[in-house]
Structure 1
Amino acid sequence: MPRFLHVTLVVITFWLVPGADAHSAPANGQNFFKAGIEAFNRGDLQQARDYLEAADGLGLDSKALTYNLGVVYFQLKQYDKAAATFQRLMGSRQEALAFYNIGLVALAQQDLPRADRAFQRVLMANPEPKLETLARTQLKRLDVKLAEPRPPQRWIGLASVNAGYEDNIALFPDSAATAIEGGFLESVGAVSGLIYGSRKAGFRQDVKLYARHYPADSDFDTQIIQAETGWVQQTGFGRIHAGLGGDYIWLGGKTREGRARLVFGLKRQDCLGLANSERCRVEGEVKQIYPQPEWEAYRGQQYQVDARYQASASGWTGSLRYRVVYDDRKNLDTGREYFSVSPLRQGVKAKLEFAVTPQLTLTSAAEVRYSYYRTPHRLQVPDGVLIIRREDTRYDLSLGASYAVSKTVAMLIEANQADNDSNIERYQYGRHSVTAGVTVRF
């Protein structure tokens, strides 16, 4: 642990007067508390912890006890216990002080982004001048550390298991008499790492797995495997990458299509100079789609450009994404009717996150996507034949929350509403869903 962390924590320990805010506590609880402080002052941390835990277990109502117990846990390097103990001070007059110490815990655990959020929350809690100065000092040091290149992990991974409910699985139009609804189980896995070279220049491998199962209607089950191998290169302008990939998709337990992908992109920090902790990314993809015979209408190419911007400040993180997708597919001709499956799509997505505490983050997002089908549809209608160029505008809104149980485990919940407004009635639909699950990073 850096030396300045130890010194700063010990100085703050004596800002609270032991026992000053106790309320009608049992005499033996008070005695254990005093004995714990005495043990701490003579350097016996193990005994100090035992005495303070005993006072806490006897119901001593004292913010000073809670604070000093957190300090002892910190000194003993029991960081998870320390953070949980300081968390108990939220909503009290010591909230700013608690956030400061949670930031120190995060630094000790080498979790720099969580430390940054905690110190930002100190400033938002209207601290007294001395504590404000300390928090600003830590943030300045973090600005330097977060800007430094970190030793890369050669391999990282993620696994997620979720359960949810949808009220319109098949995306039936609003005019339909009924809709297919039900629960689903969802799993996600991803592994990414360097197979040759270093973060500055080397070959990278990415593998992603996705599966969704509807127990009540397996015809809508979906499985996807994606793999990509590419070269990454750090330059003075940013980090560039280019590679080749492939996808394989199953629907309802049957193979639907395979895809070959050419990918390229650029990532850069502090790209626009509008805020601290900026990140920009521009990526492009060219895909060749090879469908199974029953999906032959979807054979062809797809071209995509994706641009993203993200910035963080004072516990808030905002991002903006623009994506344009151009499809050149075979399209579906039944003889009597003709359906275009080759839209030009453009979409904008805005996302906002707020760290309520270092563990709890609230998220909201909104997306608008416009699709223009270049070739007109030819549809049979009661009055005869309708020839119309399809245009859709889809709106997506979501609200969610995540709680970090530890550095690697998080619980998530999200509610989503999607509405598709189309100039062809059969494609006009709404869908609501809710999802909850657990994510593990390794």
Structure 2
Amino acid sequence: MLTLALFLAGPESRAATDEANRQFRTGSTAFQAGDYARALDAFEVALASGMSGPAVHFNIGVAAYRLGDYLRAEAAFQEVARTSSMAALAYYNLGLVANARGDSTAATEWFAKVEPATTDERLRALAASRLAELQPQSQPPLPPRPWVGFAAFGLGHDDNVALVSDANVLGITDSEDNFADLQLALSTPLSDAWRVDGGLLYTDYQDLDTFDQLSTYAGARYRWTRGDWRNDAGLRLGYSLLDGSGFESRQTLSVQTRRGLMPDVELRGRYRFHHIDGLNEFSGLSGLRHEAGAAINWTRARWNIDVGYRFEIADYDDAALSATRHEVRADVERAIDNDWTVLLEASLRHSDYDADVNGAEDRTELALSVTRALSARWRLAVRHAYSENQADLPDFDYRGNRFSAGVEATF
């Protein structure tokens, strides 16, 4: 008989109202007494009264599962999966829900996602056991997969192709063209602390081959925890081609940290140092770049809001490209239902160039994305991005629109 791995029984948010906390306690008491219908009602009221964070969604999922309301349970555990520290547990329970609905394919996919998402050996063992049960008796169990990957392919149209890369390098053009994008990424652990990453990004234009781009990277990260802070430091090597010729090689050292401020609020900080070698006619790009930034992420019910600031100092061999930049951004994501998600991205970047003749620039970017989940691994994505640059030099004023549609997969 299938059971769920955990029941979270404590109030989870200091910001929740007294009524929300009271309903949460009522639901916990009812659940312990086996009155799952009353428990579900109470947890739903707690959610509607302002309680947020993963625990209330998890308890809704548990109660709904016990009542056989698998659609509600699935929606609740999908919300839990948005919290990285509980993602593996949510995947496991989503596998239980899918199995209870008779969807062994989806159940297998969810259970397979548990192992790379956690270091909890007990949870890994539970997921491996479920995977073994789902395999036909004539086949051996699926071996554990220590790596995770991402792939995306899309087609689109760009009405100002120069915006695809740094306009200061490539120059401004009003040329329009269609394009195809391919992105691949892979990450695998070497130990509990060490992980290696690699990836490839390729953009191919239908007519303007001059702007075709290929970038590859590989690196390693070390992760550790100190108190409430989760940290990692990494080194990445990258190489880029433009129209088949060398564009730049780059070495990047990064340090980042994060911690939870409340159950539904996370603070992040990051510093990155880039050593860049411009290749061929792009030798002016050779130099150093420093980036430092901070961001706050807030997750509540079906909302996910991320707000951040980034400071950059770029010192290149070509003073006309060297600049100091400030950027603020905000990403607002809303899950419409179990399958559909809408994401709005907005950013404003101010640049002061070292060469006085260049003056300053303000670039605004807005993007709207709509995605639809096809399965636990696959989804469709449609995106429209708008860019506008206002510069002291009129020659560098531009606007651009970029449309794309494609498929994405995690594996």
TM-score range, shorter chain: 0.5 to 0.7
User: Which position in structure 1 is the counterpart of 2:14?
Assistant: none
Aligned AA (2:181): E
Unaligned runs of 5+ in 2: 7-29, 38-66, 87-117, 125-144
Query: How much does 1:306 deviate?
Result: 2.7
Select 1:154's aligned residue among 133, 139, 146. 146
Query: How much does 1:227 deviate?
Result: 1.4
Query: How much does 1:247 deviate?
Result: 0.9
Select 1:427's aligned residue among 379, 396, 405. 396
Contact kept in structure 2, 1:106 and 1:114, CA below 8 Å: no
- Whole-angstrom CA distance in 2 between matches of 1:342 and 1:411: 39
Distance 1:178 1:296, change over 3 A: closer
Contact kept in structure 2, 1:163 and 1:435, CA below 8 Å: yes
- Whole-angstrom CA distance in 1 between matches of 2:347 and 2:306: 12
| TM-score w.r.t. length of structure 1 | 0.61
Query: How much does 1:166 deviate?
Result: 0.7
Contact kept in structure 2, 1:114 and 1:358, CA below 8 Å: no
Query: How much does 1:100 deviate?
Result: 6.0
User: Which position in structure 1 is the counterpart of 2:292?
Assistant: 305
- Whole-angstrom CA distance in 2 between matches of 1:177 and 1:225: 25
User: Which position in structure 1 is the counterpart of 2:174?
Assistant: 179
- Whole-angstrom CA distance in 2 between matches of 1:290 and 1:3: 53
User: Which position in structure 1 is the counterpart of 2:206?
Assistant: 215
Residues 23-50 of structure 1, C-alpha deviation per residue, up to 9 Å, x if partnerless?
xxxxxxxxxxxxxxxxxxxxxxxxxxxx
| TM-score w.r.t. length of structure 2 | 0.66
Aligned to 1:406, what secondary structure does the other structure show?
coil
Unaligned runs of 5+ in 1: 13-97, 117-147, 332-338, 377-387
Contact kept in structure 1, 2:152 and 2:408, CA below 8 Å: yes
- Whole-angstrom CA distance in 2 between matches of 1:437 and 1:170: 22
- Whole-angstrom CA distance in 1 between matches of 2:409 and 2:217: 20
Distance 1:230 1:168, change over 3 A: same
Q: Residues 20-419 of structure 1 correspond to what in structure 2 (within 5 A)?
A: 101-105=70-74, 112-113=80-81, 154-171=146-163, 179-195=174-190, 197-198=191-192, 202-268=193-259, 270-271=260-261, 273=262, 276-331=263-318, 340-376=320-356, 388-419=357-388
Aligned AA (1:359): D
Aligned to 1:170, what secondary structure does the other structure show?
helix
Percent of aligned pairs with the same amino acid: 23
- Whole-angstrom CA distance in 1 between matches of 2:355 and 2:172: 30
- Computed over aligned residues only, the root mean square deviation of the Cα atoms, in angstroms, reads 3.3
Query: How much does 1:314 deviate?
Result: 2.0
- Whole-angstrom CA distance in 1 between matches of 2:177 and 2:69: 45
Contact kept in structure 2, 1:103 and 1:114, CA below 8 Å: no
- Whole-angstrom CA distance in 2 between matches of 1:279 and 1:214: 39
Query: How much does 1:346 deviate?
Result: 1.1
Aligned AA (1:342): S
- Whole-angstrom CA distance in 2 between matches of 1:291 and 1:178: 22
